[in-house]
Structure 1
């Protein structure tokens, strides 16, 4: 349904974030301009009165140059490790300037305790000295030491809070400022603090130099004793160990180790060779002598090889003799005896070779052990020499370190003792570049500036308040609100009429007739055109005019719209608001005559109830007043008789305009809507909450009433608004031309 889609569109539009439009905000500001101006002026006036009662505060500033390159005391800081660089150094000096020690010296130097200190100090953008803080000296009353100390501590705290120490950017300058109601005091404090700072630094440097010299003297004596003790210890150690030339002894022992190590390597190689033969012999122990012939060292021995050759010759000889002689031949017997003797001799030589190998193995082992013992003894000797050399080197190093440290301290002591006073005095931490002078013009309060700022803040606050009030305003103010919050097109916007207390409200009812070229009449004609063009195929016959609540101007619109339609065709205006009828009275007709209630109940006929005075005057509009107020208007409007009457009237008139009761209060409009071909819903601008309008439209949509257009009534077109710039300003301009042309005042 169209109505449901429009309702949905209204809900979506209501939740959408509005785009920024400057004219919207300007309209809000213009609407609440008197609140904004009044509140701004009130805040400005209050601030001006409050500022006028504030005392004059004077401020003086001294410029102090902090010297970085001359801040060292010869080389004492090198000894103490107190070196610093630019940034850290300047930050340190600023902290010193702000220290309590200097503040106490400042209080004592200026004898500030002679002033009577009031306790009601006021703090403004840092502590400022206001009237009552410093007053002329008074006769001192007896006070205890504790009271005097407490007053002094409080005074020091106040001075520290009132001082402003600021480094000047990109320079070595420091600005020392002080504020007071006494201009002379405001100048004396920065100058005195700068002098105290320089003097304090000189005193500190002299004290440091003297302390360093004293410490060096004590330390030098200790170093002298330590050097003497270390030299004595070194000499005693040399004598006790009998050390003459440690390096020569160590060199000889090292050479012996190298020679022994080389011999030991050769002995190990020889032992390895003999050990191999020895192991082969040990494996063949207990076997015949021929078994040892497998050992190369034995079989390759020259003597055994000669014997083996003799054995072969004897065997060959026996073989030759056997071929010529018999077994018992003496030559054969002699040859066999020779062979046997040779074999026996070979066995004897093999046994001797085995014994020789065993002896060589034992001898090689003994040689290796002997060389290892010699090497170990030499190593122990070297280690002993190293230990003595290490201890000797340590004692010599200690003597050397003590001697160098003593010489260094002795040199520094002589330099410091010779130039400590001159260097300390020449190295000042800073100097005053520009002393503070007595101010002739107060520094604050800057009354004009405070008032201007208060006006700006007041304007900002009041503007925000105006926007907050506008945010709380939930009424429908303009055509855009109608479309965004309700989702229905606007039929027309009726301008607000200026009707004074002495004017008759009937003027509004006759506005379309009496002032046809006014903005109001033009808006009514716009509504008429919209009605006629909204449905060309099915012309709106019966138009119901209603609103959410009373006093929204629905009757005024119904009457003037009837006049407008009457210019086009025969029109009937019916007053169906039988609870609060007003059409007859507003048009100057007889409000006691028969009307709609009499017609529906059947007490009067149609001709008796129709008032045609306006038609006789050429208005082409007939009227049916409400008639006698019935006890049950809703029952009459719900009756079949009313439907029949309305059907009969539709045959007689081209347009029927029915003024109905409001939708929220009663249900009359809901009953009438079922007969309507169109419902015109009137909304009063800047008066009716849109929630009520939405509720009224919801009721009409629930019965599927043909609500297609809304009428915005009493729109003040004389107020600046963004909406008049593109369409709704036409009526205003047209009305202006009308007044100018016809000379209306």
Structure 2
């Protein structure tokens, strides 16, 4: 093997091996960082993916389209020729009035609603019933029971549970007591309605009335007759409504007249019973009297407050708790003041005589008698003032009470007047409302009578602008169009079916699936190999056909493993998968041979549940070659369990050996760990083939000793949720998976995904 030359260019690595050059992304790109890809290439790849899907299912698409077209041709060939004719009817919105009186049947709905309403009337059963009677269609040959053709019904070909149950309606449910003639007429009416077509001519006020039948003349007669019946039906409806309105207005007017007379009599009786002439004048006088009484009451209460204050002082004087001199009303009294002056003069006189003569002098006695008389006069006058204060207080209290009674009486009188006024106004309102209502109905009654004779002169709801003519050629079936539509619909249905199948496919197919569904970068893909009987050992394809696409893929993956370990050499490589049958053992063998061309490599078979490594290498299996189980158990030495390969001197193999009763216990032992440490010193790469992650727990134990895990996924087979569960189990034991290998990829069918990058996926290795 030629020596490899490794160069670093712009963050990427290029490896030259002989005439081949490998372009390897940087470690950042291989760790999962996105690589910028032109959007145009993404769009082209997406279109190529759609094209691949079409190519994958092309025969199904063509077969289903032809099948639907074949049945459509058979169906069209069995159809009876059908004719169609159309009449055009103008729907009037604004009708001209001869006199300025509103029509009793006029509506205030918007034009759009009015137009749609007229369309539904044209489709109604009542017009179809009148149409059958007018043209005597019950006796027409086209509607006789013998001529009724059984139409092809697709529902007869479908299972009964696929179609919703039909609920009976009043229109389709026959009357249990209907006569045979009525039943036949109902059938004919339903047939006429089924053949009729009423559609608007947008954005005009025109309506197209068409009919489809095997009778040419009938296809023209029915649309024209329906238009005439519709116009006449509208006119008859207006006349009927006018007559009913006139009759109802007559009865209503009589009732309103009686109500008006009764309300007027009620008002007159009420005024007489309450002796009312002018309620407003009486109320205004009473209000003025109430205001005067309220003013007098306010003044009286102020006066009472003053009198009450003096009255309390007097009562305190009588109780002996105060002196009369503290009461201003008594002290300021002129008579009391004169009596007090007389008392003071008598006291001065007594005092002077005592100083001059002594207390026993006759003049002293006369002066004392005069003093006592002055004091008695003062007390008498004070008592008179007190009596006057009490009397004045009592009069003020009586005045306030009298005014309060008068105020209350005036309020009651005003309230009574308010009630009478309210009742009187209510009676007046009744009279006014009844009079207005009576006048309104009387006016409308006169207008209705005046317009009743002018209904036929008013413009109708519509008019025929283009009558239907008998058709020349059949309307359908158009066999060519039907077959083409059948082919197109069949193709569309098949296309939807194909894409639904693709959508429901939850397997991993492409590098995009790996990155989007698993969130991990794709280390590489291994193409699906074509194995012939001439191949001696198809599992050694890397050695047998070194220039093949498969060998290049294996070599690219091994180169990627080598480069990811430039700073941290990947000594121990674990190869595993989610379930059995994904090709992990084949990957282990070929990767070991590829790494053996780079450095000294050891391949260990750790799948002790279903060992297949020895068989795939073509070695003897009975008795099994000594290997890992004997080595870890200590029954044999290392040189007795290591087997050298003739194909590559740098590759040694330790097979499974004798299957132990409990492989998990074997891998969990300390001897297995020590063994790997010793082997790592002797070999540059150690590749360990382990059991599937989802089947047993052996891989979870072995993976703890690995420096790199190579997770193999079988394309188009393994569901991505199963792969996620396997990756989750590894993460739970702190074993991260950084690379995915997609195996069994049909590169011819997936050229849409790998056309620009060989067969290694976007952002992965490419070779030139």
Tell me the TM-score normalised to structure 2 length: 0.56
CA contact (8 A) 2:101 2:447 kept: no
Whole-Å Cα distance in 1 between the matches of residues 305 and 442 of structure 2? 69
- Give the match for residue 277 of structure 1: 310
Cα distance in 2 for partners of 1:238, 1:252 equals: 19
**2:131 is aligned with 1:99:** no
Alignment of 1:335-734 (within 5 A): 335-423=367-455, 425-459=457-491, 526=547
Alignment of 1:50 onto 2:82: no
Q: Kindly tell me: are residues 28 and 335 of structure 1, through their superposed partners in 2, closer, same or farther at Cα, counting changes over 3 Å?
A: closer
Deviates more, 1:487-496 or 1:106-115: 487-496
CA spacing shift, 1:294–1:123, aligned 2, 3 Å: farther
- What secondary structure is seen at the aligned counterpart in 1 of 2:87? strand
1:184 maps to 217
CA displacement at 1:344 relative to structure 2: 0.3
Q: Are the structure 2 counterparts of residues 393 and 471 from structure 1 closer, same or farther at C-alpha, using a change threshold of 3 Å?
A: closer
What is the distance in 1 between the residues matched to 2:72 and 2:138?
36
What does 1:126-205 correspond to in 2, within 5 Å? Answer: 146-205=179-238
Match of residue 224 from structure 1: 257
Distance 1:195 1:352, change over 3 A: same
DSSP 3-state at the match of 2:211:
strand
**Is 2:112 the partner of 1:87?**
yes
Aligned counterpart for 1:292 among listed residues 311, 324, 331:
324
Q: State how far apart, in whole Å, the 2-side matches of 1:489 and 1:403 are.
A: 98
SS of equivalent to 1:69: coil
- Residue 458 of structure 1: how far off its partner (Å): 4.1
Matched, 1:110 2:143: no
* 3-state SS of 2:421 partner: helix
Residue in structure 2 matched with residue 207 of structure 1 by the alignment: 240
Task: Work out the CA distance in 2 between the residues paired with 1:690 and 1:228.
Answer: 96
Offset of 1:272 from its aligned partner?
Answer: 1.6
Provide the secondary structure at the position in 1 that maps to 2:318: coil
Contact 1:35 1:462 in 2 (8 A): yes
User: Given the superposition, is the C-alpha separation of residues 720 and 267 from structure 1 closer, same or farther in structure 2, using an over 3 Å criterion?
Assistant: closer
Contact persistence 1:317–1:335 (CA under 8 A): yes
Cα contact 1:73–1:424 (8 A) shared by 2: no
CA contact (8 A) 2:101 2:451 kept: no
Partner of residue 151 from structure 2, selected from 118, 122, 129:
122
Q: SS in structure 1 opposite 2:179?
A: helix
Report the Cα distance in structure 1 between the residues aligned to 2:198 and 2:547, rounded to whole angstroms.
Answer: 75
CA contact (8 A) 1:71 1:428 kept: no
Closer, same or farther: CA 429–123 of 1 in aligned 2, 3 Å = farther
Per the TM alignment, residue 433 of structure 1 is displaced from its structure 2 partner at its CA by 2.5
Contact 1:73 1:423 in 2 (8 A): no
* Distance in 2, Cα, partners of 1:489 & 1:107: 76
How many angstroms apart in 1 are the aligned matches of 2:356 and 2:250? 126
Rounded to whole Å, the distance in 2 between the matches of 1:344 and 1:716 is 147
Shift in alpha-carbon separation, 1:271–1:467, aligned structure 2, 3 A? closer
Q: 1:720 to 1:394 in 2, by over 3 A?
A: closer
User: 1:451 offset after TM fit, Å?
Assistant: 0.7
Question: How many residues are paired up?
Answer: 520
1:61 is displaced (CA, Å) by 2.3
> Matches of 1:381 and 1:470 in 2, distance apart?
95
Contact map agreement 2:527 2:747 (CA 8 A) in 1: no
* SS at 2:263 equivalent: helix
User: Could you give the per-residue CA deviations for residues 353-391 of structure 1, whole angstroms, max 9, x where no partner exists?
Assistant: 121111112211222222222223333332333333233
In structure 2, stretches of 5+ residues that fail to align are 1-41, 156-176, 511-521, 537-543, 559-618, 627-642, 650-714, 718-743, 759-768
Q: Aligned with 1:284: secondary structure?
A: helix
**C-alpha distance in 1 between matches for 2:360 and 2:137:** 159
Q: CA deviation at 1:203?
A: 0.9
Describe the shift of the 1:201–1:344 C-alpha distance in structure 2 as closer, same or farther (beyond 3 A): same
Aligned-pair CA distance for 1:405? 2.2
Q: Which runs of 5+ in 1 are unaligned?
A: 1-18, 127-143, 479-485, 497-504, 510-522, 536-631, 640-646, 656-688, 692-711, 729-745
The CA RMSD measured in Å over matched residues stands at: 5.6
SS in 2 for 1:64: strand
Output the CA distance in 2 between the equivalents of 1:407 and 1:723: 88
Q: Is the 8 A contact 1:494 1:524 kept in 2?
A: no
Q: Do the aligned partners of residues 722 and 194 (structure 1) sit closer, same or farther apart at CA in structure 2, a change above 3 Å counting?
A: same
8 Å Cα contact 2:104-2:241 kept in structure 1: no
Question: How far off is 1:394 after superposition?
Answer: 2.4
Distance 2:319 2:546 in 1: 153
Distance 1:298 1:179, change over 3 A: same
Distance in structure 2 (CA, Å) of the matches to 1:258 and 1:469: 97
1:627-647 Cα offsets, whole Å, 9 max, x none, are: xxxxx99889999xxxxxxx9
Check 1:62–1:321 CA distance in 2 against 1; reply closer, same or farther (3 A cut).
same
Matched residues in 2 for 1:185 and 1:27: separation? 55
8 A Cα contact 1:59 1:186, kept in partner: yes
**Residues 228, 246 of structure 1: alpha-carbon distance in 2 compared, 3 angstrom cutoff:** same
CA contact (8 A) 2:86 2:220 kept: yes
Who is 2:732 aligned against? none
- Alignment CA distance shift 1:178-1:78 (3 Å): closer
- Measured in 2, the distance between the counterparts of 1:268 and 1:721 equals 113
Q: Distance in 1 between matches of 2:753 and 2:400?
A: 123
Q: Secondary structure at the match of 1:164?
A: strand
* In 2, Cα distance between equivalents of 1:315 and 1:117: 150
Match of 1:308?
340
Match of 1:739 in 2: none
Q: 1:108 to 1:377 in 2, by over 3 A?
A: same
Which is worse superposed, 236-245 or 304-313?
236-245
Match of 1:568 in 2: none
Q: Is the Cα–Cα contact under 8 Å of residues 307 and 396 in structure 2 kept in the other structure?
A: yes
- Asked whether 1:68 is paired with 2:93, we answer yes
Structure 1 315/123 Cα, relative in aligned 2: closer, same or farther at 3 Å?
Answer: farther
Q: 1:529 to 1:383 in 2, by over 3 A?
A: closer
How far apart are residue 398 of structure 1 and its match?
Answer: 2.3
Residues 8-48 of structure 1: CA distance to partner in whole angstroms, max 9, x if unpaired?
xxxxxxxxxxx956556656766876676566545434432
CA distance in 2 between counterparts of 1:382 and 1:238 reads 17
| Residues 142-173 of structure 1 deviation map (CA, whole Å, 9 limit, x = unaligned) | xx971111111222223233322223333323
CA contact (8 A) 1:73 1:205 kept: no
State the shift of 1:304 in Å: 0.6
Specify whether residues 237 and 21 from structure 1 end up closer, same or farther in structure 2 by C-alpha distance, changes over 3 A only: closer
After superposition, residues 222-261 of structure 1 pair within 5 angstroms as: 222-261=255-294
SS for the counterpart of 2:145 is coil
1:626 matched residue in structure 2: none
Task: Indicate conservation of the 8 Å contact 1:278/1:361, yes or no.
Answer: yes
Deviation at 1:467, TM superposition (A): 9.1
